[in-house]
Structure 1
Amino acid sequence: MSPIILLSFLVVYFGILLAVSYFTSKDSSDNSTFFVANRNSKWYMVAFGMIGTALSGVTFISVPGDVGNTPGGLTEPNNFSYFQFVIGNAIGFVVIAYVLLPLYYRMNLTSIYTYLEERLGHKSYKSGAMIFLISRTIGSAFRLYLVAIVLQRYIFDAWKVPFILTVAVCLFLIWLYTNKGGLKTIIITDTLQTTFLLLAVLLSIYFMADGLGLTVFEAFEKVKESSYSKIFVWENLLGDTRHILKHIIGGAFVTIAMTGLDQDLMQKNLSMKTIGEAQKNMMTFTGIFIVINLFFLAVGALLYFYADANGIKLSDIGKSDYLYPEIALRHLTLLPGIIFMMGLTAATFATTDSALTALTTSYCVDFLNFNKKENPNDPKLVKQRNLVHFAFSIVMLLVILLFHWINDESVVSAIFKIAGYTYGPLLGLFSFGILTKRRVNDNLVPIICVISPLLIFLLNHYVLPHTAYKIGFELIVYNGLITYLLLLITSPGKVEGKIAGSK
């Protein structure tokens, strides 16, 4: 497909997002609108829009491509084993809806990390907020990196545009349409982008089936009867990172940490009027999330069928992340290519715009103390928020360039591996606060939050390679457990009086 056609589509797409930004922010662009959308969001819009935020370009490209990947040391490809992880995700969403959300609403939080200050202490609070800033910046940068390398390879390489310029333009455009309206704008743009994402995955299945000479129903039947449709891995608990227990347990705790303890997705839930609406949003989102992931796995199987039928070899493409764009943009007709680009762009930018807003909110509330100012909507504070928003765009650009330099694996694997290290201490902190009635040694908390992932790193790289055990997504559980135990060992005693957040 011609690069000029793809570029034209992107220009129109961003034009629509800028128009939405203009109309949602023209009446108000103060900090209350930016941070929590004046707590007036509709639950059904948030639930639908969160699909695009949660899935991202990783699900759109990396999950389908990973279906045919064979992890090192094993003989069987991943197939649909990722769905075990999705089952764990669903369990995690239920915990968020009925354990964490009631706590956040009871305390009327803007930043969820202020809970740590009231329950554990000031340094614990700052440690939790800093962990989020680092974790979300890295995670969102990785996600945007995925779409950037596709745009670079299939559009901008034709004009020899440097990769740094491709990423910089993407981030500038995202900053442009989120800078004023913040969360209020994002709830509308995420709804729009989720619509594009869902249309893209459904139409991709149709076009892939058509390319194979099958109807949609015949394509699903072919997927069902193939070896790719194998979901559950029961064998080799120690040596296979895809074992059902590792995936489900890891999926649940990754979700609790990366969603329930993450300002990004929780910020949307906190923008609703009542806890009932927030829980309804969470459970509706969970149901759609499960179904959509099954569709993406089906797309993955169809991609490998198509590649086999047309002599497309993964070794010639480079890595599995390129399989979907390679087929959509170079082997199918014009319309499927545009549909693919629409879905990829929607998925990735829905994640990045939301992350930039959440990072800005957390820094302004948790480090600049906007929530403690007499007038949080003071024009000087609005200007300061704008500078913070821009600064995080620059930081994300630098992280993407670093990842582009060192990455040599599937992005879906890289994201959850990094999350296991960065979100683990956050999981330990919140678990200690919720599950115990003990105090922490607040001065030691920042040190513990560094020691825990360091111990896990040393264990994973220098001890486990000499054993039969291979660690997978459950790495985050061990990281959180070490944090929890270190907090317990150093605890000076029980809390006197009422615990923050309790009824």
Structure 2
Amino acid sequence: MEVVDWLVISVYAGTVLLLGYFAAGRSNSETEYFLAGRREGWAPVAASTWATKLSALTFIGVPGAAISGNFAYMQLWFGSFLAAYVIGAFLLPEFYRLRVSTVYEYLEHRIGLGSRLAGTLVFIISRCLASAVRLAGCAIAVSVFFDLSLVTSIVAMASIAAAYVMTGGLRAVIWTDVLQLFLFLAGAVAAIVFVGLTLSGGFGEAVEAAALAGKFQVFDFSFNVDDPTTFWTGNLFAFVLGIATGGADQDIAQRALACPDARTARVAVITAGAADLISTFLFLSAGAAVFAYYTAFPHEAVTTLMAENRHDYVFPHFIRHELPAGLRGLLVAALFAAAMSSLDSALSGLASSAYFDLGLGRVNGGEENPITPVRNTADRMRALIGPRALVVFFAAVLAVIAIWFGAQPSILWFGFKVMGYTYGGLLGLFLLALLVPKRAKDFASVVAVFSSIPVVFMVTQWGIGFGIAPVPWPWAVIVGTAWTFLSALALARFR
């Protein structure tokens, strides 16, 4: 890293912190802090949602998927986009009709308080696991760039994200994400352009090398329940997980709740879902370009990484060792942007859910749905002590979990596996609230959602007995959803 690289990174970091500072000036109540006053337009909310979905897993894992395989990951977009449409058409109107502060408040309205608390706890477990995976993914690259230990990288990034989220709340998250989105996409484009200009045969050589290796194959219509990169299995998984993460996860849904009405929120969510195709294509293309580069200029270290199945390290290695000064700084800043855009929203979502849904707001002296903003600066600081303390607490929790996750060999698919164990139960709970609230009983729903976690773990690890093999992990979310929905209805009949 040279002086110009550090300058680029410093400008990025300074801009992000300034945005957080200016956003803090309007955070004069819990609603302002956690919901941006419900005044954000569809464009910034769409950009922020898009940026959050990308994360460091996209920056590191998606190029790695292209380097080791092909463009099959892109076909999962169909299920993901359909999930965004379903959320916009069915869940968001319900959230806005009831004017909820968190998505778990909806569960209390439709089923009962126990379901709200259960949904909140499952969300906190799920989001801590999933966001820790994302944090670990970025820390892998940071450790490569700066010769830092994985632990140091994780702690540093968690601290930076906590600093501006703690200061400015959701408004800071949304507007820093807008900046980080453009930087993130610019990083992928810059890597592709560099390869095209460096190879003697230009972009044509890069395309030819990637094509000869089969990198541009997208669709695989074979039916293989074990393989998430096949069209049918992958899209079913992407659809179910997309509804769970986008509609039943406060991390993502919090952005939609910051809009003034359901129509604005729907446009934002569907726009972000459509835009996912652009970013996926760009980062798969970046991976194919890097593959073509090392085909033309073999490197012993890269050959070793490939042999050890550490494909997630190849793109960071390319950024550090091949890119010129300045451009290298841009890509490192883009990597930070990828990490921050997902980490900041996780901290805000976790803190808001703990504050509103677990009653910590009332412990702090606040109101669950505050109407009158605090005008006095000293009073405002006191009112926001609880929310800000929760942001710091969850930053520490994510850092601890990420340190363990950092040892996993393929961070992209491991992230999906982690979410599979818990998100099915969460989605099942919301389906009960949406479809059969009169038949769903609070106690039965609570038992069903908590029992889904060990059930999913057992059937994916050991099967269900009678000689039946374990269920492949792409089906974990579906198993959890079905178990929660059906067992809750069955239990309700006996009470």
With normalisation by structure 2, the TM-score equals 0.90
Check if 1:371 corresponds to 2:373: no
Supply the distance in 1 between the matched residues of 2:200 and 2:78 (Cα, whole angstroms): 32
CA contact (8 A) 2:110 2:437 kept: no
Aligned to 1:57: 56
Aligned to 2:38: 39
Q: Which residue of 1 aligns with 2:486?
A: 485
Could you tell me which amino acid in structure 1 is paired with residue 394 of structure 2? F
SS at match of 2:409: coil
Superposition map of 1:97-116 within 5 A: 97-116=88-107
Q: Return the match for 2:122 from 131, 155, 163.
A: 131
Give the distance between the partners of 1:39 and 1:431, measured in 2 at CA: 26
Correspondence list, 1:317-396, <5 A:
317=305, 318=308, 319-367=310-358, 368-369=360-361, 370-371=367-368, 379=380, 380-396=382-398
Question: Offset at 1:239?
Answer: 4.7
1:193 maps to 2:180: yes
Q: Does 1:211 align with 2:213?
A: no
Counterpart code for 2:353: S
Q: Which position in structure 2 is the counterpart of 1:244?
A: 231
Deviates more, 1:13-22 or 1:251-260: 13-22
- Deviation at residue 130 of structure 1 after TM alignment: 0.9
Aligned positions of 1:155-194 closer than 5 A: 155-157=146-148, 162-194=149-181
2:474 partner letter: F
Is it true that 1:476 corresponds to 2:477 in the alignment? yes
- Percent identical among aligned pairs is 27
Aligned-partner Cα distance in 2 for 1:363–1:212: 52
Match of 1:423, SS? Answer: helix
What secondary structure does 1:186 align onto?
helix
The Cα offsets for residues 158-177 of structure 1, whole Å up to 9 and x where unpaired, read as: xxxx5433322222221111
Q: 1:497 maps to which residue? A: none
Distance 2:275 2:209 in 1: 24
Pairwise CA RMSD of aligned residues?
2.5
Aligned partner of 2:25 in structure 1 is 26
The one-letter code matched in structure 1 to 2:106 is Y
SS of residue paired to 2:107: helix
In 2, Cα distance between equivalents of 1:187 and 1:374: 22
Deviates most, 165-174 or 123-132: 165-174
Mean Cα displacement is larger for which, 223-232 or 280-289?
A: 223-232
Cα distance in 2 for residues equivalent to 1:350 and 1:487: 36
Equivalence map 1:178-327=2 (5 Å): 178-216=165-203, 219-220=206-207, 223=210, 227-312=214-299, 314=302, 316-317=304-305, 318=308, 319-327=310-318
Q: Show the 5 A alignment for 1:412-451.
A: 412-451=412-451
Structure 1 residues 30 and 372: alpha-carbon distance in aligned structure 2, compared to 1, 3 A threshold: closer
1:217 Cα deviation after fit: 6.6
Structure 1 residue 26: deviation in Å?
2.5
Find the aligned partners of 1:226 and 1:282 in 2 and give their Cα distance. Answer: 36
Post-superposition Cα deviations, 1:290-319, rounded to whole Å, max 9, x if no partner, equal 122111111121222222222236552351
Are positions 1:148 and 2:148 aligned together?
Answer: no
1:288 & 1:400 partners in 2: Cα distance?
Answer: 28
C-alpha displacement of 1:421: 0.7
In structure 1, distance between residues paired with 2:137 and 2:227: 26
The CA deviation at 1:115 is 0.9
Distance 1:387 1:224 in 2: 51
- CA separation of 1:343 and 1:102: change in aligned 2, threshold 3 A: same
Query: Partner of 1:484: helix, strand, or coil?
Result: helix
C-alpha offsets along residues 89-140 of structure 1, whole Å, 9 cap, x if unaligned?
1111111111111111111111010111111111111010111111111111
Q: CA deviation at 1:322?
A: 0.5
Which amino acid is 1:423 matched to? Y
Partner of 1:499: none
Q: Distance in 2 between matches of 1:410 and 1:287?
A: 26
How far has the Cα of 1:235 moved from its partner? Answer: 2.6
Q: Which moved more, 1:430-439 or 1:351-360?
A: 430-439
* Pair 1:441–1:286, CA change in 2 (3 A): closer
Contact 1:425/1:480, CA 8 A, preserved across alignment: yes
Contact preservation (8 Å) 2:48, 2:178: yes
2:304 counterpart letter in structure 1: D
Deviation at residue 224 of structure 1 after TM alignment: 5.6
2:50 aligned partner, one-letter code: I
Q: 1:437 to 1:188 in 2, by over 3 A?
A: closer
Count of matched residue pairs: 479
| Structure 1: gaps spanning 5 or more residues | 70-76, 495-503
**Match in the other structure for 2:364:** none
Q: What is the Cα deviation at residue 191 of structure 1?
A: 0.7
CA contact (8 A) 1:247 1:472 kept: no
> How far off is 1:7 after superposition?
4.9
Contact 1:33 1:181 in 2 (8 A): no
Structure 1 letter corresponding to 2:396: I
Structure 1 stretch displaced more, 375-384 or 40-49? 375-384
For residue 10 of structure 1, report the CA deviation from its aligned partner.
3.4
Please say if residues 303 and 324 of structure 1, whose CA atoms lie closer than 8 Å, have aligned partners that are also in contact.
yes
**Distance 1:27-1:269 versus aligned 2 partners, 3 A rule:** closer
Q: CA deviation at 1:29?
A: 4.2
- Which amino acid is 1:454 matched to? P
C-alpha distance after superposition, 1:472-497 (max 9, x if no partner): 43321111111111111111499xxx
Contact conserved, 1:267 with 1:358, CA < 8 A, in 2?
A: yes
Name the CA distance, whole Å, in 2 between partners of 1:239 and 1:396: 30
